[in-house]
Amino acid sequence: MQTIGYLGPKATFTHLAVTAIFPNAESVPYNTIPQCIDAVRDGEVDLAVVPLENALEGSVNLTIDYLIHECSLPIVGEIVAPIEQHLLVHPQQADAWKNIERIYSHSHAIAQCHKFLHRHLKRASYEYMASTSAAAKYVSEHPHEKAAAIGNRLAAKEYGLAIAKENIHDYDYNHTRFIILHQQPCELPIDHEPDGYKTTLMITLPKDQAGALHQVLSAFAWRKLNLTKIESRPAKTGLGNYFFIIDIDQKLDDVLIPGAIAELEALDCAVQVLGSYPYYTVKQK
Amino acid sequence: MQTIGYLGPKATFTHLAVTAIFPNAESVPYNTIPQCIDAVRDGEVDLAVVPLENALEGSVNLTIDYLIHECSLPIVGEIVAPIEQHLLVHPQQADAWKNIERIYSHSHAIAQCHKFLHRHLKRASYEYMASTSAAAKYVSEHPHEKAAAIGNRLAAKEYGLAIAKENIHDYDYNHTRFIILHQQPCELPIDHEPDGYKTTLMITLPKDQAGALHQVLSAFAWRKLNLTKIESRPAKTGLGNYFFIIDIDQKLDDVLIPGAIAELEALDCAVQVLGSYPYYTVKQK
Of the three residues A150, A165, A180, the one that is the final residue of a domain is A165
- Of the candidates B150, B159, B167, B132, the one whose C-alpha atom is nearest the C-alpha of residue B8 is B132
Residue B45 burial (C-beta neighbours within 10 Å; 0-12, 13-18, 19+):
buried
- Nearest CB to A111: which of B34, B112, B209? B34
Name the band, by pLDDT with cuts 50, 70 and 90, for residue A236. Answer: low
Q: Are strands A162-165 and A196-204 parallel, antiparallel or unpaired?
A: unpaired
Q: Is the pLDDT of residue B239 over 60?
A: no
Compute the count of residue pairs across chains A and B with CB atoms less than 8 Å apart. Answer: 151
pLDDT score of A137: 95
Query: Helix and strand tally (H, E) in chain A?
Result: 9, 14
Of the three residues A165, A186, A209, the one that is the final residue of a domain is A165
Average pLDDT for A217-226: 89
State what percent of residues in chain B have pLDDT above 90.
60
- Best residue in A30, A50, A52, A59 for a mutation probing chain B (most B CBs within 10 Å): A59
Of the three residues A125, A143, A165, the one that is the final residue of a domain is A165
Chain B residue nearest residue A114, CA to CA: B34
Between chains, do B210 and A225 touch, taking CB under 8 Å as contact? yes
Name the band, by pLDDT with cuts 50, 70 and 90, for residue B68. Answer: confident
Contact B122/A at CB under 8 A: no
Cα separation of the two ends of chain A:
27
Name the band, by pLDDT with cuts 50, 70 and 90, for residue B248. Answer: very high
Q: Is the pLDDT of residue A254 over 90?
A: yes
Give Cβ neighbours of residue B253 (< 8 Å, ≥ 6 apart): none
B139 CA to chain A: closest CA distance, Å? 16
Q: Is the pLDDT of residue B250 over 80?
A: yes
Residue A49 host element (H or E): strand A47-53
pLDDT score of B36: 94
pLDDT in tens, A58-101: 556 778 888 888 889 999 999 999 889 999 999 988 888 889 99
pLDDT in tens, A179-197: 999 999 999 988 889 999 9
Average pLDDT for B246-264: 94
The ipTM, to two decimals, is: 0.80
Identify the sign of the CA torsion A64, A65, A66, A69: positive
Weakest mean pLDDT among A99-103, A128-132, B232-236: B232-236
For residue A272, the cross-strand partners are A202
Contact A122/B at CB under 8 A: no
The type of residue at B31 is N
Q: Does B94 or B237 have the greater pLDDT score? A: B94
pLDDT in tens, B259-282: 999 999 998 899 999 999 999 999
Please compute, for residue B72, the number of CA atoms within 13 A of its CA located in the half-sphere on the CB side: 7
pLDDT score of B210: 63
Average pLDDT for B10-16: 91
Instruction: Please report whether residue A158 resides in a domain.
Output: yes
Residue B99 burial (C-beta neighbours within 10 Å; 0-12, 13-18, 19+):
exposed
Residue A201 near residue A271 (C-beta atoms within 8 A): yes
Instruction: Please report whether residue B27 resides in a domain.
Output: yes
Beta-strand ranges (E) seen in A134-221 are 147-151, 162-165, 175-181, 196-204
pLDDT score of A170: 87
CATH number of the structural domain spanning residue A204: 3.30.70.260
Residue B179 near residue B78 (C-beta atoms within 8 A): yes
Q: Does A93 or B27 have the greater pLDDT score? A: B27
pLDDT score of A206: 77
Please compute, for residue A86, the number of CA atoms within 13 A of its CA located in the half-sphere on the CB side: 20
Q: Is the pLDDT of residue B206 over 80?
A: no
Whether residues B255 and B269 share a domain: the answer is: yes
Q: Is the pLDDT of residue B88 over 60?
A: yes
* Dist. CA A136–CA A153, nearest whole Å: 10
- Cα A116 to Cα A87, A162, A270: the distances in Å are 10, 18, 47
- Of the candidates B168, B207, B13, B183, the one whose C-alpha atom is nearest the C-alpha of residue B85 is B168
Between chains, do B231 and A234 touch, taking CB under 8 Å as contact? no
pLDDT in tens, B72-85: 999 999 999 988 99
pLDDT score of B238: 56
Residue A155 near residue A131 (C-beta atoms within 8 A): no
Residue B78 near residue B280 (C-beta atoms within 8 A): yes
Name the band, by pLDDT with cuts 50, 70 and 90, for residue B143. Answer: very high
Weakest mean pLDDT among A72-76, A212-216, B1-5, B244-248: A212-216
CATH number of the structural domain spanning residue B146: 3.40.190.10
* 3-state DSSP percent of chain A in helix, strand and coil, to 5: 30, 30, 40
Window 245-284 of B: residues touching A by CB (8 A cutoff) are none
Average pLDDT for A227-235: 80
For residue A120, the cross-strand partners are none
Instruction: Please report whether residue B188 resides in a domain.
Output: no
Instruction: Please report whether residue A143 resides in a domain.
Output: yes
> What total number of domains does chain B contain?
3
* 3-state DSSP percent of chain B in helix, strand and coil, to 5: 30, 30, 40
Average pLDDT for A124-131: 89
Between chains, do A230 and B227 touch, taking CB under 8 Å as contact? no
Give Cβ neighbours of residue A226 (< 8 Å, ≥ 6 apart): A248, A249, A250, B208, B209, B210
Q: Is the pLDDT of residue A116 over 90?
A: yes
Residue B258 host element (H or E): helix B256-266
* Dist. CA A84–CA A165, nearest whole Å: 11
pLDDT score of A5: 97
Whether residues B100 and B41 share a domain: the answer is: no
A225 CA to chain B: closest CA distance, Å? 6
Maximum separation of any 2 CA atoms in chain A, in Å: 67
Whether residues B234 and B254 share a domain: the answer is: yes
- Nearest CB to A34: which of B114, B172, B244? B114
pLDDT in tens, A19-38: 999 999 999 999 888 899 99
**Sequential DSSP letters for A112-136:** HTHHHHHHH-TT-EEEE-SSHHHHH
Contact A217/B at CB under 8 A: yes
pLDDT score of A55: 62
- Of the candidates A51, A83, A55, the one whose C-alpha atom is nearest the C-alpha of residue A180 is A51
Window 28-87 of B: residues touching A by CB (8 A cutoff) are 31-35, 54, 57-59, 61-62, 65-66, 69
Maximum separation of any 2 CA atoms in chain B, in Å: 67
- By residue count, chain B amounts to 285
Identify the sign of the CA torsion A18, A22, A24, A25: negative
Q: Is the pLDDT of residue A158 over 70?
A: yes
Instruction: Please report whether residue B113 resides in a domain.
Output: yes
Instruction: Please report whether residue B210 resides in a domain.
Output: yes
* Dist. CA B220–CA B226, nearest whole Å: 7
Instruction: Please report whether residue A110 resides in a domain.
Output: yes
Average pLDDT for A116-127: 92
pLDDT score of A208: 59
* Dist. CA A261–CA A272, nearest whole Å: 9
Give the other-Cβ count within 10 Å of B3's Cβ: 15
Average pLDDT for B184-189: 92
Residue B117 host element (H or E): helix B114-120
Instruction: Please report whether residue B230 resides in a domain.
Output: yes
In terms of residue numbers, what domain contains B38? 3-82+174-181
pLDDT in tens, B147-184: 999 999 999 999 999 999 999 998 877 788 899 999 99
Three-class DSSP category at A144: coil
Whether residues A228 and A275 share a domain: the answer is: yes
Whether residues B13 and B78 share a domain: the answer is: yes
Give Cβ neighbours of residue A228 (< 8 Å, ≥ 6 apart): A198, A247, A248, A249, B208, B232, B240, B242
Q: What is the mean pLDDT of chain B?
A: 89
Specify which of A55-64, A209-218, B207-216 reaches the highest per-range mean pLDDT: A209-218
Contact A94/B at CB under 8 A: no
The type of residue at A124 is A
- Best residue in A10, A79, A213 for a mutation probing chain B (most B CBs within 10 Å): A213
Q: What is the dihedral of CA B194, B21, A112, A49, to 10 degrees?
A: 80
Give the distance from CA A267 to its chain's centroid.
Answer: 33
